[in-house]
Amino acid sequence: IVTLHLAAGSIAILWLWQLVFRRLNSRDAPNNRFNWDLLRWAGRNPAHWALVGAAVWAFAQVASTLLSPLPVISFFGGDEARSGYNLYDSISLLVLFLSVALRFRTRRSLELLAYTLIASGTIAAAFGIAQHFGWDPIGNNAGRTRVIASFGNTLNFGAYMVMTIPATLAMVYGNQKNRGVLLAIIVGALGLQLAGLWFSGGRGPFVGAAASIGTFFIIAAAIGSWRSVAKSAAVLAFSAVVAAVIIALPSPQGDVGLERVRSIGSSFSGTSGASTDIRGGLAGRFNIWGSTLNLATRWYVPIEEPVANSVLRPVFGFGPDMFIYSFPFAGKPQTNLAILDHAHNFELQVLMENGFVGLLGFVAFTGLLAIAVFAIVRRFRSTGRGIDHTGILILALLPALIGKLVELQTGVPRVSDLAMTFALFGAAIALYEIVNRQLASDSEESSDVRATGSSSLALTASNQTALAATLLAAVLATAVLLTIFVGWDMRRLSASASLARGHDHPELETRAQVWADAQAQAPERESFTHALSEQYVLVAKEQRALGNEEEAMRLILTGRELLLAYEKRDPFEWDAQIGLSKITATLVEWGNLEYAQELADRSRRIVELYPSYPSLVGTAATAMTSLGLHELAIEYADMVIAVEESTQPWSKAWYARGRALFELGREDEAIATLITATEKQPGAEGALLSHQVLAQIYSLRGETEFAEMHRELGGAEITFEE
């Protein structure tokens, strides 16, 4: 991510200053006015209109950031683990796209892009294979059922292979002298990539790879001959044999790829029973997409906002990186505590975060790119050139783009695969212009028909005005980008480097200080702040068990302060809210009743923010009844009980309801409810607590035998985790 920001910022700064110097050099030219007409420039060129679509999408992202409930989070992102959607990342990716689209106008530059894709994909595939066989000295990810290589997620790794496989296959048409050596290298690289894709186990990438390979052969047949198609098919077959040999080698992980391929068909079926849990496969995607489309009709946000903002929500969306905070309002009840941060469909994600304007821009952008791809192949085929140097580029880059567009329909792309995706977007535009230029030089006329005459979208300005505007933009961009990069990227990278150097120091005190220093340097980093806060709370409980109450209070309050500071920047973040609620409950449990009102407020807030997670709502119900808010406890418990058929039994909710009824004097109802709690999940904490309350009730009633039985049952060990 830091490399992306550095590269994009450098390109943007150098580009702007280049424009300044061009304006300076044109001062003495006879006609130095700035003249630009959108309609004349775009004409009937789908590649140019694709750039217009990208501009509309970029505008929507900026507008949605300004309207975001948390503009700072929308600009910088809430968690680096979900990269690629905050405005900083998006602008960087768009700069990367524009640099390829507007500056890679020679075959040589696009060849370098193809070689970069092939080399990086082969290295990543080799690393993923090593992980599969238990070797990973860098990221400690050896032994995973589905490998992630260096991508952070198995889907991103598989998605990268979708792009690199056809690019590698296209190299079989090169005219190098050492033909046998070249083919051996291609077969080896392609075999590694196919094996890496197999070990990733991503069904979406499997389908995307099939689309990219299928597109490759369709284009090869269109611009080449059946003999050329047979050549690439033979190389693919030999590479598949190499991959099969690698896959067949003994491994403790087994053949996960075969299982995932077989499950593609079954993934079309719905989830079993009435469960609303989000699961893997296409059925799980349908669950997510249905809730997301429901959200697109209501546009819930976790704050009270002005009417104007509410009206503009459908137009510009929730804001970059904001989908994660709105989905719980529309999501179906979930058994597990796993928050959803992506719609698992790129177009739906754009709709949610950038609104209908953003979706319109993105669909126009990618749709016109698809038209440009078709036009490239059609026009190149008409020349009858066969698969020459330009034809190789067409086969290397365009099928990779098409396959990736297919994969985006179910994938969760991050910067790790989005960077190359945006480079391929730019490559399609650059390749369109190269082919057009070749055809124009052959026929001595342009095949691109443009509008004639001036239009209402024409812009004109004197050279002095254009120079002043460009100079101002260059100065401001340089100052802003350098400030952001140093203050954000370098600071956070420095914190990571400090932690990496000392996290495994043999002295405990030194390790603790290293963590504290790194967290103080980058307190907005969830992985730093939450991990350190959890350790403070853990050690605080250990100290209290040893009788060191003063030290225990100091430690737990220190952990609390870390999360309170984090909460100021991101008041909706899942782990921070749950962590603060747990800390507050612990403080009340330790007798610090001054935190009782805060516990009540935090419990209400968790129910408001995460209504589709019954385990959290049930915990809130328990907290409410412990604070004497029995009516509210019953309300929350009923919310959980109402969704048991689609989730699971929740003994803690039944316990909270039963205890609240007992405290309200409704003993008979309480007994029935508490007995139900013991039957729903025997051995769970809620069941044991219910036995304890039943023992109390029967003791008050003088029914000693029942009281003793429930007292004994309530004192057992917890054997079931809700």
**pLDDT surpasses 90 at 401:** yes
The answer to which of 53-67, 254-268, 345-359, 485-499 has the lowest mean pLDDT is 254-268
Cβ–Cβ under 8 Å, residues 191 and 239: yes
Cβ–Cβ under 8 Å, residues 412 and 153: yes
Counting beta carbons within 10 angstroms of the beta carbon of residue 545, is it exposed (0 to 12), middle (13 to 18) or buried (19 or more)?
A: exposed
What the block records as the tokens of 106 is 């020679």
pLDDT of residue 431: 95
441/493 Cα distance (integer angstroms): 49
pLDDT digit string, tens, across residues 321-332: 999 999 999 999
What the block records as the tokens of 671 is 């007994």
pLDDT digit string, tens, across residues 131-185: 999 999 887 888 888 999 989 899 999 999 999 999 999 999 987 677 888 999 9
Residue that has been written with the tokens 């009923």 in this structure: 638
52/101 Cα distance (integer angstroms): 13
pLDDT digit string, tens, across residues 659-678: 999 999 999 999 999 999 99
Cβ–Cβ under 8 Å, residues 11 and 99: yes
61/607 Cα distance (integer angstroms): 30
pLDDT of residue 39: 86
What the block records as the tokens of 410 is 């179910």
- Taking residues 492-511, report their average pLDDT: 91
pLDDT of residue 466: 87
What the block records as the tokens of 81 is 């683990």
pLDDT of residue 456: 64
Cβ–Cβ under 8 Å, residues 421 and 164: no
Backbone φ, ψ for residue 36 (5° rounding): -150, 130
**pLDDT surpasses 80 at 269:** no
689/655 Cα distance (integer angstroms): 7
Per the prediction, the chain carries an average pLDDT of 91
CB proximity list for 477: less than 8 A, separation 6 or greater: 12, 13, 16
**pLDDT surpasses 60 at 230:** yes
577/571 Cα distance (integer angstroms): 8
Instruction: Please give the helix or strand (H or E) that residue 459 lies within, else none.
Output: strand 458-461
- Taking residues 283-305, report their average pLDDT: 93
**pLDDT surpasses 70 at 217:** yes
Counting beta carbons within 10 angstroms of the beta carbon of residue 453, is it exposed (0 to 12), middle (13 to 18) or buried (19 or more)?
A: exposed
pLDDT digit string, tens, across residues 565-593: 999 999 999 999 999 999 999 999 999 99
What the block records as the tokens of 455 is 């239009």
Can you name the residues that pair with 34 across neighbouring β-strands?
A: 461
What is the bridge-based pairing of β-strands 34-37 and 458-461?
Answer: antiparallel
Q: Is 57 helix (H, G, I), strand (E, B) or coil?
A: helix
pLDDT of residue 624: 95
| pLDDT band, residue 446 (cuts 50/70/90) | very low
**According to DSSP H, which parts of 485-573 are helical?**
491-502, 508-521, 526-545, 549-569
Cβ–Cβ under 8 Å, residues 14 and 336: no
Can you name the residues that pair with 458 across neighbouring β-strands?
A: 37
What letter does residue 342 receive in the DSSP assignment?
-
pLDDT digit string, tens, across residues 370-394: 999 999 999 888 888 889 999 999 9
384/262 Cα distance (integer angstroms): 41
